[in-house]
Amino acid sequence: MINSTDARTGPAVGPSIPPSIQVVGVGLEGPDSLTTAARDAIEDAELLIGTPRLLAAFPNCGEAQWPLGDLQTLLTRLQAQLERPHCPNITLLTSGDPLFFGLGRLLLSALPAERLTFHPSVSAVQLAFSRLRIPWQQATIVSLHGRSSDPFNAALAQGKPTIAVIGDPQVSPAAISAMVATAPCSFHLWCCENLGSSEERVQRYELGSLPASVAPLHVWVLQKCQTDAPPSPPILGVADQQFARFDDRPGLMTIRPVRVLALAELDLRPHQTVWDIGAGTGSVSVEIARLSPTSRIYAVEKSAAGLKLIQANIARFETPQVIPVGGAAPGALTPLPNPHRVFIGGHGGDLATLLDAVTLRLHPQGRVVVATATLESQTQLMTWLQSRTQSSPTWSHTHLQVNVSCDSPVGRYQRLSPLNPVLLTALMPGETLLGG
């Protein structure tokens, strides 16, 4: 009979599993901010640890309470508790999310990870963005709380579009103002104080009119100002930033270097019908419309987010000859007029079926350009080409591998960072085989 551990099966389940230290994040609402599991961890604690403020919120919990003081001493005492034959139920109270600029990282560096269980609360940064109604999945988040200001200065120097700064009572608003003033661009600035409490305050400030002091618990949010009058776009190669786009979904856009080469590979002519399949933001469609105002371009996109961006870019660049088409190809192609040119920037995973549908509809002197960025897509393309060597008509093709590197800041320096390589394949119908 195996009671605890078997060399082949590992630790047994049940009482032999060592108890965990429960690390509970508490919001400013106090007990009201807790989940049922977090509340149970506090109520079941034999030893409750936290700052005096947090312990005061749970005066009747824990047979013993340790006020949180010197962290190194705390770690030593916790290690000793874990080594006891009968370790008590320990719950450690922290603020917000302990794994987000909190005590969690320090605990993991000194204690076995499997002996720690985390119960996060909503962080102050989450609350700040929710109060301001600003999406924050791409925000740059830095902390000044007992930390260097270098990451904040780097984010400012790079002109990051959205920055959240966890404040430190020792870093005054005047110091924040001085750092922001060094940025190469301007920012909207908010200070969010005591979030989640009855003393909550969210205030927007101009850089020169920051208050002399703010609450000890505060978060700064900076959002890069957009220029009211964007520069006039060039004839060819509109900058990516000038298109309406989602910065957190780079796959929706064919970036400028690849776009310019794709336009060249399409070999455009006036008065053509063009299909842009997997149009994303519509950047390729808009560029074609600006180069060939007499052509008609159908921007086919299956995602609702992409269609909204296409419509916004049609209005932004005044290209009404671009027609948004919602739906997945090849089904969405059925009602469209036959094309002279086709650009395939997305295919939904079945490139062969899409190419079959497109090439059946293509004008005799037409051309298809396919952009592939994954080995799987390129394999599908090569397999399709090989299957057409005996078809009628035959298909000639050229491949252009696009490898681009762009400058990228590294501290005070610049380096070249490679972008994902893209293969541009141009397909042209060739001769009809005898008997085909």
What is the per-residue pLDDT for 2?
36
- Candidate from 312-316, 349-353, 390-394 with smallest mean pLDDT: 390-394
- pLDDT band at 391, cuts 50/70/90? low
Report the C-alpha gap between 186 and 4 in whole angstroms. 63
What pLDDT is attached to residue 348? 82
Q: 43-78 b/e with 16+ CB inside 10 Å = b? A: eebebbbbeeebbebbeebbeebbebeeeeebeeeb
What are residue 10's DSSP bridge partners? 6
If one compares 18 and 83, the residue with the highest pLDDT of the two is 83
**Separation of alpha carbons 215 and 14, rounded Å:** 47
Q: Is the model more confident about 436 or about 182?
A: 182
Is the per-residue pLDDT at 174 higher than 90? yes
The pLDDT of residue 296: 98
pLDDT of 432 above 80: no
**Better pLDDT: 416 or 12:** 416
Name the residue with higher pLDDT: 96 or 24.
Answer: 24
SS3 42: helix
The pLDDT-based confidence of 27 (bands split at 50, 70, 90) is confident
Sign for the pseudo-dihedral over CA of 210, 213, 215, 217: positive
Q: How confident is the model at residue 53 (pLDDT cuts 50, 70, 90)?
A: confident
Query: Is the per-residue pLDDT at 434 higher than 60?
Result: no
> What value does the mean pLDDT take over residues 80-85?
89
The SS3 of residue 331 is helix
Confidence at residue 7, expressed as pLDDT on a 0 to 100 scale: 39
Q: What percentage of the chain reaches a pLDDT higher than 70?
A: 91
Q: Evaluate if residue 11 carries a pLDDT over 60.
A: no
Least confident of 3-7, 306-310, 368-372: 3-7
Radius of gyration (Cα) for the chain, nearest Å? 30
- Between CA 267 and CA 273, with CA 270 as vertex, the angle to 5 degrees is 80
The pLDDT, as a whole number, for residue 147 is: 86
The arithmetic mean of pLDDT across residues 79-95, rounded, is: 91
pLDDT for residue 372 is more than 90: yes
Separation CA 260–CA 245 (nearest Å): 18
For residues 68-90, average pLDDT = 90
- What mean pLDDT, rounded, does the chain reach? 88
What is the pLDDT at residue 230?
65
Confidence bin at 188 (pLDDT 50/70/90): very high
Mean pLDDT of 210-234: 86
Indicate if the pLDDT at residue 329 is higher than 90.
yes
Whether 228 has a pLDDT exceeding 80, the answer reads no
Whether residue 229 has pLDDT greater than 70: no
What is the per-residue pLDDT for 9?
Answer: 41
The runs of H, that is alpha helices, within 20-137 are 36-43, 52-56, 71-82, 104-110, 124-132
More confident residue, 162 or 198: 162
Does pLDDT of 338 surpass 50?
A: yes
29 in Cβ contact with 198 (< 8 Å): no
Output 282 or 251, whichever has higher pLDDT: 282
Domains of the chain: 20-122 (3.40.1010.10), 125-224 (3.30.950.10), 240-429 (3.40.50.150)
pLDDT band for position 258 (cuts 50, 70, 90): very high
Question: Under 8 Å CB-to-CB from 306, ≥6 apart: which residues?
Answer: 252, 279, 280, 281, 282
Reported pTM: 0.66
Q: How confident is the model at residue 8 (pLDDT cuts 50, 70, 90)?
A: very low
Residues 16 and 14: their CA atoms lie apart, in Å, by 5
Q: What share of the chain is helix, strand, coil (3-state, %, to 5)?
A: 30, 25, 45
pLDDT, mean of residues 193-208: 90
